[in-house]
């Protein structure tokens, strides 16, 4: 069996996937001379066109190759040049996922069977709750609970305000308001729902520690990305000064970066993105490294249905899955990408059911895939009242 074609598709989402204007996915299809087709997705969602070009750069190498040599191809392409980056890793991840899909179809087995077998038959999920006011967030938390979710994430006590709005807030005001919002979230859903508090890398360590001390009493499931992920020692400083478990990793690109976090005891829930860290091949290794350190996995999944399908296969095969992000928003009534699938995911009582079909267990609607087009939005970075850059 040989690879005969590698094709990229920039697909417009059928529902918003980001409050920052990003509204599309990068899908790759790899076909073979045996007629087997694999589907993958890239995760550098702010730079989809750049990642698509990287896939085309890798295409000449892949043509004519055996698609079952997944690890070798990932190593060859990653180590072929001196440079790396999010767009390159996004491209490699999309290719790796598609190759795993081919392997599953070739062996007529779900990917989780090729990863060591099934550890669970369903994955507990958390929904996305996004809003620019406390009342909006509280209402959506209540709605998610009523719909059956037992965990809620993407939940920012700092609000999801427009990036066009300049930021200005005192330290005391920010801490007091954010803490009070978490109190209201907890009161709205009781102890029947876990709260995954998302900071979006917006705080410096001293601010993150101060806020964590205030909200510990409301028992968050985790405290996600309280500081920028560029300095692992800064993340460790926060972890050392709070009892709330730290979740981070969605912006990391290599297994070595996760190893550095784990070595520092700076994380309690690793958040690899299968569409950014090197696909299923690398994500399985990250999960194993985390397991050896008594750390659980919460795969990052803010993207399209191929990303979700890859996460489900990974989550079904690892013993240390804690929770699965599911990009469902109550205002949309469905997760993004269901129109792209021939059959939607099965979800019930807060859980995604693990499919038993070969490969990823999904098939995309070619008509939707071919007719859809997507253009990247303009960059929008939030500014402070004084004109300086604010992380959001």
Residue 354 has a pLDDT of 98
Residue 368 has a pLDDT of 85
The DSSP 8-state label assigned to residue 133 in this structure reads: S
Residue 335 has a pLDDT of 78
Residue 19 has a pLDDT of 63
261 and 247 in contact (C-beta within 8 Å)? no
51 and 27 in contact (C-beta within 8 Å)? no
Q: Show the DSSP H helices in the chain as ranges.
A: 48-62, 70-78, 86-107, 111-114, 134-147, 171-189, 205-215, 232-239, 255-263, 279-292, 305-317, 366-371
Residue 275 has a pLDDT of 98
Distance CA 164, CA 327 (A): 24
Positions of CATH 3.30.390.10 in the chain: 3-110
- Summarised one tens digit per residue, pLDDT across range 185-234 is 999 999 999 999 999 999 999 999 999 999 999 999 999 999 999 999 99
The structure tokens listed for 149 are 């979710």
Coil, helix or strand at residue 196:
strand
Residues of the chain below pLDDT 70:
16-22
Which residue has tokens 């190893």?
259
Positions of CATH 3.20.20.120 in the chain: 113-358
221 and 323 in contact (C-beta within 8 Å)? yes
Distance CA 119, CA 132 (A): 39
| b/e burial code for range 169-180 (CB count within 10 A of at least 16 → b) | eeeeebbeebbe
Q: Residue 29: which residues within 8 A CB-CB, separation 6 or more?
A: 5, 6, 7, 9, 37, 38, 39, 40, 98, 369
- For 113-358, which CATH class? alpha beta
Residue 223 has a pLDDT of 98
The structure tokens listed for 148 are 């059956």
The catalytic residue positions are 200, 300
Return the closest-CA partner of residue 78 out of 69, 65, 90.
Answer: 90
Strand segments, DSSP code E, in the chain are 3-12, 24-32, 37-42, 122-128, 151-155, 194-198, 222-224, 246-248, 269-270, 296-297, 324-325, 347-348, 351-353
Question: Which CATH architecture group holds 3-110?
Answer: 2-Layer Sandwich (3.30)
Residue 285 has a pLDDT of 98
Distance CA 385, CA 252 (A): 30
Residue 311 has a pLDDT of 98
- Summarised one tens digit per residue, pLDDT across range 97-138 is 999 999 999 999 999 999 999 999 999 999 999 999 999 999
CB atoms within 10 A of CB 367: 9
Residue 16 has a pLDDT of 66
Residue 375 has a pLDDT of 78
Q: Residue 388: which residues within 8 A CB-CB, separation 6 or more?
A: none
Question: How many residues can be counted in the chain?
Answer: 392
Tell me what percent of the residues of the chain surpass a pLDDT of 90: 86
Residue 14 has a pLDDT of 74
Q: Residue 371: which residues within 8 A CB-CB, separation 6 or more?
A: none
| Beta-strand pair 122-128/324-325 | parallel
pTM of the entire predicted model: 0.96
Residue 245 has a pLDDT of 98
């Amino acid at each position: 069996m040989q690879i005969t074609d590698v094709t990229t598709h920039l697909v417009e989402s059928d529902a918003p996937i980001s409050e920052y204007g990003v509204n599309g996915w990068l899908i790759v299809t790899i076909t073979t001379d045996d007629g087997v087709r694999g589907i993958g997705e890239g995760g550098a969602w702010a730079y989809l066109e750049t990642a698509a070009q990287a896939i085309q750069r890798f295409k000449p190498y892949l043509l004519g190759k055996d698609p079952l040599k997944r690890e070798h191809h990932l190593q060859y392409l990653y180590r072929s040049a001196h440079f790396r980056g999010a767009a390159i890793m996004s491209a490699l991840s999309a290719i790796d996922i598609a190759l795993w899909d081919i392997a599953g179809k070739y062996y007529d087995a779900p990917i989780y069977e090729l990863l060591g077998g099934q550890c669970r038959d369903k994955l507990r999920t958390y929904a996305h709750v996004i809003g620019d006011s406390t009342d909006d967030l509280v209402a959506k938390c209540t709605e998610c609970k009523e719909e059956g979710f037992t965990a809620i994430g993407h939940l920012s006590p700092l609000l999801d305000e427009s990036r066009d709005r300049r930021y200005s807030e005192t330290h005391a005001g920010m801490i007091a308001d954010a803490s009070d919002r978490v109190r209201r979230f907890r009161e709205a859903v009781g102890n029947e729902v876990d709260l995954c508090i998302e900071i979006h890398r917006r705080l410096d360590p001293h601010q993150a520690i101060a806020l964590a001390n205030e909200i510990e009493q409301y028992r968050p499931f985790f405290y996600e990305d309280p500081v920028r992920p560029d300095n692992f020692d800064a993340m460790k400083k926060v972890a050392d000064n709070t009892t709330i478990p730290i979740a981070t990793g969605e912006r990391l690109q290599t297994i070595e970066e996760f190893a550095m976090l784990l070595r520092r005891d700076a994380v309690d829930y690793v958040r690899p993105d299968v569409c950014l860290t090197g696909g299923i091949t690398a994500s399985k290794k990250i999960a194993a490294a985390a397991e050896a350190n008594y750390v659980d996995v919460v795969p990052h999944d803010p993207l399209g249905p191929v990303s979700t399908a890859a996460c489900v296969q990974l989550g079904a095969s690892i013993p240390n899955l804690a929770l699965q992000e599911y990009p469902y928003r109550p205002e949309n009534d469905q997760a993004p990408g269901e129109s792209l699938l021939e059959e939607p995911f099965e979800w019930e009582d807060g859980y995604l059911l693990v499919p038993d079909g070969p490969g990823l267990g999904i098939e995309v609607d070619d008509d939707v895939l071919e007719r859809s087009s997507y253009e990247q939005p303009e960059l929008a970075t939030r500014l402070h009242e004084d004109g300086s850059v604010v992380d959001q």
